[in-house]
Amino acid sequence: MRGELAPGERLRTEFVAQRLGVSAIPVREALQQLQSERLVETIPHVGARVARISHASIVEVFTVMEGLELVATRTAAQRMTPADFQQLRSLLEMMDKALEFGNHDQWGDLNTQFHRAIAGMTGMPMLQEMTDRALDQWDRVRRYYLKDVLAQRLSKAQEEHHLIVRAMHDHDYPLLEQLVRNHNQGALAAYTEYLAATATNMEP
């Protein structure tokens, strides 16, 4: 998830077991679980490898996130307490400071907290679980492409975050829906434009 193992890198059971100081059995079980989460691929006659980041998977992540956030932001706005609103404001302030000082990794981590906080305000466990899984996939993408793509879009994304929170506070649902769509589609467009110019570690 942190990108220490690059997309496509082989995952030899014995090496992983030795590195972690465990037997091969829990490693095999872990690889099976990671495969079910689409983080690991098993290639016949080759073995396991870190799942590659494909163009299709990036499109899927942002499409799913858009759908989840349309529900999450509307529901959270309906149920948001003053304390919830202050929590989002505090996260935005920390993100503003991270951006000001060029701490892009910190901004990315806070961004994940921000979106998880909104999902948490809905009181909908299934939505929260689905959001967590989608954000895990997005985190992997953004850590790998942060310097090439996300760094160029941070200011715009942060501006959109402020507008989204304001629309939630004002219960302006038509504007909120448009802002959420623009936020996700703008991020997807940034990655798509980058991927059109490079094929590094990418699959169709």
Q: What is the full DSSP assignment across the chain?
A: --SSS-TT-B--HHHHHHHHTS-HHHHHHHHHHHHHTTSEEEETTTEEEEPPEEHHHHHHHHHHHHHHHHHHHHHHHHH--HHHHHHHHHHHHHHHHHHHTT-HHHHHHHHHHHHHHHHHTTT-HHHHHHHHHHHHHHHHHHHHHTTTTGGGTHHHHHHHHHHHHHHHHHT-HHHHHHHHHHHHHHHHHHHHHHHHH--TTEE-
Residue by residue, pLDDT tens for the chain (204 residues) are 777 888 889 999 999 999 999 999 999 999 999 998 888 998 888 899 998 888 888 899 999 999 999 999 999 999 999 999 999 999 999 999 999 998 988 998 999 999 999 999 999 999 999 999 999 888 888 877 756 666 678 899 999 999 999 999 999 999 999 999 999 999 999 888 877 777 544 454
Chain position carrying tokens 């014995």? 14
How far apart (Å, rounded) are the C-alpha atoms in residues 35 and 69? 26
pTM for the structure as a whole? 0.84
Note whether 158 and 96 are within 8 A (CB). Answer: yes
Our CA dihedral for 193, 149, 182, 165, rounded to 10 degrees, sits at 180
